């Protein structure tokens, strides 16, 4: 499927909730050997990403306006992804809203199915409670194993990263590898 979408066979990495696409654009420019898919549910933001891809002639960056969980569950064939990136997902801090969080144990299972063996799931968040909760949800899926060597230090910035850095917020990062 991805070969048809990109017109070539290359590792595919997904940026979920890509926002205005600053991160996806930087990755696509820096790593032309990787195919990137930016997933964003808001039309205005998805359009911005598409414009960035066209303006910069980034043939390795596509954008989909769709719900992240639906995309991972229904549109990604098993083992078809090299990595999934989730940066600053909406934390939905109130307990009664936790059902809206992208990352939960069902998502962890779906993501594990979509990612190839040895592939990565990378999480960056400014919300400590979400970070700890995510760890527990991911642990429900035994195929995800914590990847202690990933620090995120090589990751380009994003819109929300810049915003939170200005506010002096702490940032929490963690990656899991598919066993
Ligand atoms: C806090 S922003 C972070 C944006 C970007 N990742 C960054 O680091 O700048 C969260 C983004 O995820 C998008 N989003 C939230 N829930 C989503 C979902 N279920 N599917 C797709 N996008 C979603 C929002 O529209 C928003 O653009």
Dist. CA 144 → ligand 1 center (Å): 23
User: What domains can be seen in the chain, in order of their start residue?
Assistant: 2-178 (3.40.50.150)
Whether the predicted pLDDT of 104 surpasses 90: yes
What's the chain's average pLDDT? Answer: 97
Q: What percent of the chain has pLDDT over 70?
A: 100
Q: In what order do the strands lie in the sheet with 172-178?
A: 61-65, 35-40, 12-16, 81-87, 115-125, 172-178, 144-146
Regarding the beta carbon of 107 and ligand 1, being less than 6 Å apart is answered no
* Catalytic residue list: 90
pLDDT value of residue 107: 98
| pLDDT recorded at residue 116 | 98
Cβ(88) to ligand 1 under 6 A? yes
116: tokens are 């190839």
pLDDT tens, position by position, 122-133: 999 999 999 999
Average pLDDT over every residue of 140-150: 97
Q: Please give the model's pTM, rounded to 2 decimal places.
A: 0.97
The pLDDT of residue 164 is above 90: yes
CB 11 within 8 A of CB 34: yes
pLDDT at 87: 98
- Measured at the CA of 8, the angle between CA 145 and CA 150, to 5 degrees, comes to 25
Of the candidates 118, 120, 96, 105, the one whose C-alpha atom is nearest the C-alpha of residue 16 is 120
The residue contributing the CA closest to ligand 1 atom 26 is 19
Residue 45 near ligand 1, beta carbon < 6 Å = yes
Nearest ligand 1 atom to the CA of 39 is: 21
pLDDT at 150 over 90: yes
Confidence of residue 74 (pLDDT cuts 50, 70, 90): very high
- The pLDDT score that the predictor gives to residue 1 is 84
Taking the centre of ligand 1 as the mean of its atom positions, its distance from the CA of residue 86, in whole angstroms, is 9
Q: Does 40 sit in the ligand 1 pocket, CB within 6 Å?
A: yes
Pairing of strands 115-125, 61-65: unpaired
**DSSP character at residue 135:** H
Residue 71 pLDDT class (50, 70, 90 cuts): very high
**Is the pLDDT confidence value at 4 over 90?**
yes
Enumerate the β-bridge partners of residue 63.
Answer: 38
């Amino acid at each position: 499927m991805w070969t048809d979408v990109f017109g070539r066979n290359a590792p595919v990495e997904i940026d979920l909730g890509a926002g205005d696409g600053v991160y996806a654009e930087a990755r696509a420019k820096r790593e032309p050997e990787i195919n990137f898919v930016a997933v964003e549910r808001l039309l205005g933001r998805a359009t911005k990403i598409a414009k960035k891809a066209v303006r910069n002639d980034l043939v390795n960056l596509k954008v989909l306006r769709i719900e992240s969980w639906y995309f991972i569950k229904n549109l990604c064939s098993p083992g078809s992804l090299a990595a999934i990136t989730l940066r600053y997902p909406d934390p939905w801090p109130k307990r009664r809203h936790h059902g809206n969080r992208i990352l939960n144990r069902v998502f962890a299972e779906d993501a594990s199915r979509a990612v190839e063996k040895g592939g990565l799931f990378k999480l960056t968040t400014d919300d400590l409670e979400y970070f700890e909760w995510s760890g527990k949800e991911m642990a429900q899926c035994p195929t995800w194993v914590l990847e202690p060597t990933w620090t995120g230090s090589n990751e380009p910035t994003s819109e929300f990263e810049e915003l939170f850095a200005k506010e002096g917020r702490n940032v929490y990062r963690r990656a899991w590898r598919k066993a």
